[in-house]
Amino acid sequence: MMEDAAKPTAMETLLATLDLEPIEVDIFRGRSPQVGWQRVFGGQVIGQALMAAQRTIETERFVHSLHAYFMRPGDPSVPIVYQVERIRDGSSFNTRRVVAIQHGKAIFALSCSFQIEEPGFDHQIEMPDVPTPEKLLGEQQIKEQYLAHAPPAVRKYWERERPIEIRPVSLTHYFSDRKLDPRQDVWVRATGPVPDNRLYQAAVLAYLSDMTLLDTSLYAHGTSIFDQSLQVASLDHSMWFHRPDKLTDWLLYTQDSPSASGARGLTRGSLFTRSGVLIASVAQEGLIRKKANE
């Protein structure tokens, strides 16, 4: 009797999720992993929409920026249809617009630009001086040392198998209501192999870029995304791809929130390789409001 096939890893599931089904010219279908989420993770929609756009671009042209708006929460129980519009194909740059549709309505829109690779001026900011990931608690250690007395929402977040492992430089935010400076440094890495393919590497990087950002805008207020009295959601997301990376090692995601007002919080992020190479910059504004009293 043959044994059941091994259950796919979280990273294998993510890669399958990013491998969209073409259903017409410039129209693709994406599915969501059934892991009990009430809504689709924003990073998944960004990654899938970027993958749809990339599949309409000729080879040797790669994404250098994207700008997206979240309009409705995604339903993980049904597929998402991605419609790509070819805005412009130039001699050096290509522009695409992607709309994600569910239940006959747009839930997300993405504009992205691609460029041929060419030489030019080169500089970058310095990576912050923080402890290496090996000096920080791993997820298993966090589970063993902290989760027994953590709130249910925190436990559920850390106990779920994820395609991206995170190691925050500080854990204070998760277990304290102390008001902190609105910045954080988080090491992140893929929990399994990412294909040696620039399209998948960009899509996985876009996926992980949506992790932990909203939380940074709550540091100054002594609360977190796990606070059940808050309504928290991504509103828009921008990303600039500076240099390619194969995602084979840890990346430092350093973040700061320069402002929160009008029930919105803004967070900026920089993604560095372990050796200090800046590979991407991110900016996101999110909804952070107190829920109306019942």
Distance CA 242, CA 265 (A): 25
For each of the chain's 294 residues, which pLDDT tens digit applies?
Answer: 444 468 899 999 999 999 999 999 999 999 998 766 678 999 999 999 999 999 999 888 999 999 999 999 999 999 999 999 999 999 999 999 999 999 999 999 999 999 999 999 999 999 999 999 999 987 777 776 666 666 666 666 667 788 999 999 998 877 778 899 999 999 999 999 999 999 999 999 999 999 999 999 999 999 888 888 899 999 999 999 999 999 999 999 999 999 999 999 999 999 999 999 999 999 999 999 988 764
Contact 46, 110 (CB under 8 A): yes
- Residues 69-87, buried b or exposed e (16+ Cβ, 10 A)? ebeeebebeebbbbbbeee
The three-point CA angle 153-158-159 to 5° equals: 95
| pLDDT of res. 294 | 45
For residue 58, give the amino acid letter: E
Question: Which residues are tagged catalytic?
Answer: 210, 234, 284
| pLDDT of res. 151 | 64
Distance CA 259, CA 192 (A): 35
Distances (CA, A) of 128 to 186, 187, 270, 285, 286: 11, 12, 10, 23, 25
Beta 105-116 vs 27-30: how paired, if at all?
unpaired
| pLDDT of res. 157 | 65
What's this model's pTM, rounded to 2 decimal places? 0.92
